Amino acid sequence: MNENDLIDEAGSASESPLQIMADHLREIGQGIVLSSGIVHGEIELQVNAGTVAQLLMLVRDDRQAAFTQLIDLTAVDYPERKDRFDVVYQMLSMSNNMRLRIVATVSEGQTVPSVTGVFMAANWAEREVWDMYGVFFTDHLDLRRMLTDYGFEGHPLRKDFPLTGRVEVRYDETQKRVVYDPVKLTQDFRSFDFFSPWEGMNEILPGDEKANADEEEGAEST
């Protein structure tokens, strides 16, 4: 065994299991994985949206990786970016006790291929991402809204969606049906008092003027 072999063994021994797995995933995903690293104690791979399904099959079928479970699929909105959304796939390898996060960055209006053909668990998750963020998944068999009504306008988890919403739902007794009305809040409900009681009261409250008058009378009598 020469000196170089000793250096190689020492270097490999110092690598964490996560880093070893990250290197292996980058190797089997060569040409697909754009970047890899350890982020918040988990392996993270960056890929193009069009190659997500291919990478999911690779990490699922590779015996060393064995990321056989898709445990979550969601999105994150960054409206200040040109490529506004991150579509995030959370994977689990039971045999290795490891998690893997695959991130595909997409712009507004860009479609993402559905991965229901690889993991059927993505079915409702993709519907929810479409409903909440407006990211459209092609080749999905039933991409309907899931949490909002079918006639709902907009996507509530986008950062630019108004907090009060655009319509309110109520049951109309005269029409005997559910109706939608524009949201109307009186000005009083839009004025927020950010005063903290821990900072002390400096304003005169109703009734304080009487207490002040009594104090002044007591001071004059003395």
Ordered by start, the domain boundaries in the chain are 3-161
pLDDT digits (tens, 9 = 90+) for 7-66: 344 444 468 999 999 999 999 999 999 999 999 999 999 999 999 999 999 999 999 999
Each residue of 191-215: pLDDT tens digit? 555 555 555 555 666 666 666 666 6
Question: What's the predicted TM-score (pTM) here?
Answer: 0.74
- Cβ contacts of residue 209 below 8 Å, gap of 6+? none
Query: What is the architecture of the domain spanning 3-161?
Result: 2-Layer Sandwich (3.30)
pLDDT tens digits, residue range 103-142?
999 999 999 999 999 999 999 999 999 999 999 999 999 9
DSSP code of 200? -
Cα–Cα distances in angstroms (integers) from residue 139 to residues 59, 111, 146, 209, 219, in the given order: 22, 10, 17, 72, 85
- Measured distance CA(65)–CA(100) in Å, rounded: 10
The DSSP symbol for 94 reads T
Q: For residues 132 and 146, is the Cβ–Cβ distance under 8 A? A: no
Reported as type and span, the H/E element at residue 4 is helix 3-14
Q: What is the 3-state secondary structure (H, E, C) of 126-167?
A: HHHHHHHHCCCEECCCCCCCCCCCCCCCCCCCCCCCCCCCCE
Structure tokens at 133: 């963020």
Percent of the chain with pLDDT over 90: 63
Q: In angstroms, rounded to a whole number, what is the distance separating the alpha carbons of residues 91 and 173?
A: 49
Q: Across the chain, where does the E strand assignment appear?
A: 33-39, 42-47, 69-77, 85-93, 98-106, 112-113, 137-138, 167-172, 177-182
158-172: string of b/e by CB count within 10 Å (b at 16+)? beebeeeeebeeeee
Which residue has better confidence, 20 or 184?
Answer: 20
Mean pLDDT, the chain, whole residue set: 85
Interatomic CA distance for residues 204 and 187, integer angstroms: 24
